[in-house]
Chains A and B, each alone.
Chain A
Amino acid sequence: MSRISIEQVKHVAHLARLAITEEEAEMFTKQLDAIITFAEQLNELDTENVPPTSHVLNMKNVMREDVPAQGLPLEDVLKNAPDQQDGQFRVPAILE
Chain B
Amino acid sequence: MLALLQTEMPYTALYAYVGLSMVFIVGFVLVVLMVARLIAPSRKSSTQKGQSYETAEAPVSDPWRPFPVRYYIFALMFLIFDVETAFLLPWAVVYGQLGLYGFVQMVIFIGIITLGLIYEWKKGALRWV
Q: Do A and B bind each other?
A: no
